[in-house]
Structure 1
Amino acid sequence: MSDNQLLRYSRHIFLPEIDIQGQQALADARVLVLGAGGLGSPALMYLAAAGVGHLVVSDPDVVELSNLQRQIVHRQDSLDQLKADSARRHLLALNPDIEVDALPRALDDDELQQQAAAATVVVVGTDNFSSRHAANRACLSTGTPLVSAAAIAWEAQISTFDPRLADSPCFACLYPDSNEQALNCAETGVVSPLVGMLGSYQALEVIKLITGAGTPLIGRLQLFDARHGEWQTLRLKRNPECPACASFVASDTSRD
């Protein structure tokens, strides 16, 4: 690392759980973020600031005025721009030392599989179940950890799924694949700092997975009620009959 990089990331390097080895692991990592909206915005910004060396941003939408209430990676001058391109521009302004690939489209199964295989971790913050289940399938088949969060109105949830571990549930263990439609912010609304909290939490989970620091939320679902400031933790178990993950064998059954 250069002297400037050592100074930039010094507050990480001071942490014994991260140190210079962990910071180098972040620099060597590639993270795929699906969605550059309310959750993806803070996740991307903190991952860029933390020095994750290669970010890949997938989002087919353009920036609208109603997005700016919570999607903080975008600015007033981003209106009518593709979100992936807008995010790339502002992330590189935040940290020019990293690489950012903008994919201004929803990834089909083949491309999602390729991107998941190349990624160290996948982050999903989209507002529909179909894309989350597609990400889950891609991560299962490639053995890539998945950090998933959702927020609506005043409520949010987050969990991490790691198919490298034999006892880790997958997203479909929690939410079996169905034609059920998820609520979305356009119809229900959402308080803006809530997505900031959960997107930042997603970035924290990614940093823990990459550096080995702390304990990720594998096998746990955290729920947050923003109205009353209350957290609840639910234990999750792998479903031995899950149609998504039951046929996959973990590549690594140990936890360091």
Structure 2
Amino acid sequence: MNYQDLIDDEFSRNIGLLSEEEQKKLLSSQVSAVGAGGVGGLHILTLARLGVGKFHIADPDTFEAANVSRQFGASKRSYGKNKAEVLAEMVRDINPQAEIRAYTEGVTDDNLDEFLDGSTALVDGIDFFQFEMRRKLFIRAREKGIYAITCAPLGFGSTLQVFSPQGMDFDTYFGIRENDPDEKKLAAFASGLAPYPYHLKYLDLSKVDMAAQKGPAVAPACTLAASLLTTEAVKIITGSQPIYPVPHYIQIDMYRRKLKKGFLLFGGKNPIQMLKTYLIYEKLKESMKGK
């Protein structure tokens, strides 16, 4: 990869906010992006425009018409095509010298280590309901000394949580116990992602289908999530600014003009968080009755 030519041409407008040395670090670094849909696709494209030069992209799904409202790889030309392959091609259009491997089968137990190998950061764009594989990825990333970043699009807002290999781990932050039922793990995950669920004031819960694993989502939340996540990725890769990993979090709701920078003392063992998890769990159980 010819770093100087890329800095002089494709990424010249980054310089001034990034130094040339920082830009070289981005061009020589690899991220592992799991999910190439609503948030994942935009994470990947934004990182590519920032100059990240190497990607592992995993997604077994294909684009369809219902994706076009919020997934930036979705268009009539991409319907029926694998999301990881479409995003890989879009990255090559941005940077023809980029090194990319597309995992069209998604991340599995068999390829998990290979997917993470060589990366500085794990970028989480996997569907909310795919909890067990997300948990495996975050645990293994920690074991490999890799940062993991997740941003949940919620309503017209987003949250940000960064997991440092030396900081609080995934299970502790979310309050996950191995033998908990799946619904309780999802409840704990939701509670930890959004300690202040601002979006519930305007979310029509009747449009949330837990059985079908579908709910409302809009493009502005995805773009905000990408802004939050990719900025953290730049800081991690370049070492240019301090990182505030969990139990620190950021929550923004643009619709209600709310911003919260918080510190979740004791993570999922915080008594208030435990109560929130219980209440969400009860709602999940109720919504699943008769499904």
Q: In the alignment, what sits opposite 1:245?
A: none
Give the partner amino acid of 2:251: L
Give the partner amino acid of 1:139: A
The structural deviation recorded for 1:225 is 2.0
Q: Could you tell me how far apart the structure 1 residues matched to 2:80 and 2:6 are?
A: 35
1:25 aligns with 2:53: no
Q: Could you tell me how far apart the structure 2 residues matched to 1:97 and 1:69 are?
A: 30
Q: Could you tell me how far apart the structure 2 residues matched to 1:187 and 1:115 are?
A: 27
Q: Could you tell me how far apart the structure 1 residues matched to 2:5 and 2:61 are?
A: 39
Q: In the alignment, what sits opposite 2:37?
A: 37
The structural deviation recorded for 1:59 is 0.5
Q: Could you tell me how far apart the structure 2 residues matched to 1:4 and 1:83 are?
A: 26
TM-score by length of 1: 0.83
The structural deviation recorded for 1:60 is 0.9
Give the partner amino acid of 2:98: I
The share of aligned pairs that are identical, in percent, is 25
Q: In the alignment, what sits opposite 2:249?
A: 221
Q: In the alignment, what sits opposite 2:162?
A: 160
Q: Could you tell me how far apart the structure 2 residues matched to 1:131 and 1:150 are?
A: 16
Q: Could you tell me how far apart the structure 1 residues matched to 2:49 and 2:156 are?
A: 27
Q: Could you say if the C-alpha distance between residues 238 and 121 of structure 1 is closer, same or farther in structure 2, counting changes exceeding 3 Å?
A: farther
The structural deviation recorded for 1:91 is 1.5
Q: Could you tell me how far apart the structure 1 residues matched to 2:239 and 2:141 are?
A: 19
Q: In the alignment, what sits opposite 1:201?
A: 228
Q: Could you say if the C-alpha distance between residues 209 and 237 of structure 1 is closer, same or farther in structure 2, counting changes exceeding 3 Å?
A: farther
The structural deviation recorded for 1:194 is 0.6
Q: In the alignment, what sits opposite 2:13?
A: 11
Q: Could you tell me how far apart the structure 2 residues matched to 1:105 and 1:142 are?
A: 22
- Does the Cα contact within 8 Å between 1:30 and 1:121 map onto a contact in 2? yes
Give the partner amino acid of 1:200: S
Larger Rg: 2
Q: Could you say if the C-alpha distance between residues 7 and 47 of structure 1 is closer, same or farther in structure 2, counting changes exceeding 3 Å?
A: same
Give the partner amino acid of 1:210: I
Instruction: Describe the superposition over 1:15-57 as per-residue Cα deviations: whole angstroms up to 9, x where unpaired.
Output: 3xx3111111111101000000111111111111111111111
Q: Could you say if the C-alpha distance between residues 227 and 105 of structure 1 is closer, same or farther in structure 2, counting changes exceeding 3 Å?
A: same
Q: Could you tell me how far apart the structure 1 residues matched to 2:265 and 2:8 are?
A: 41
Q: Could you tell me how far apart the structure 2 residues matched to 1:176 and 1:132 are?
A: 15
Q: Could you say if the C-alpha distance between residues 142 and 228 of structure 1 is closer, same or farther in structure 2, counting changes exceeding 3 Å?
A: same
The structural deviation recorded for 1:238 is 6.6
- Does the Cα contact within 8 Å between 1:31 and 1:54 map onto a contact in 2? yes
Q: Could you tell me how far apart the structure 2 residues matched to 1:206 and 1:32 are?
A: 11
CA RMSD in angstroms comes to 2.3
Residues 12-91 of structure 1: pairs in structure 2 closer than 5 A: 12-15=14-17, 18-91=18-91
Give the partner amino acid of 2:217: V
Residues 212-251 of structure 1: pairs in structure 2 closer than 5 A: 212-219=239-246, 220-236=248-264
Give the partner amino acid of 1:111: N
1:210 aligns with 2:255: no
Q: Could you tell me how far apart the structure 1 residues matched to 2:257 and 2:265 are?
A: 26
Residues 103-182 of structure 1: pairs in structure 2 closer than 5 A: 103-127=103-127, 128=129, 129-163=131-165, 165=166, 168-177=167-176, 178=180, 179-180=182-183, 181=186
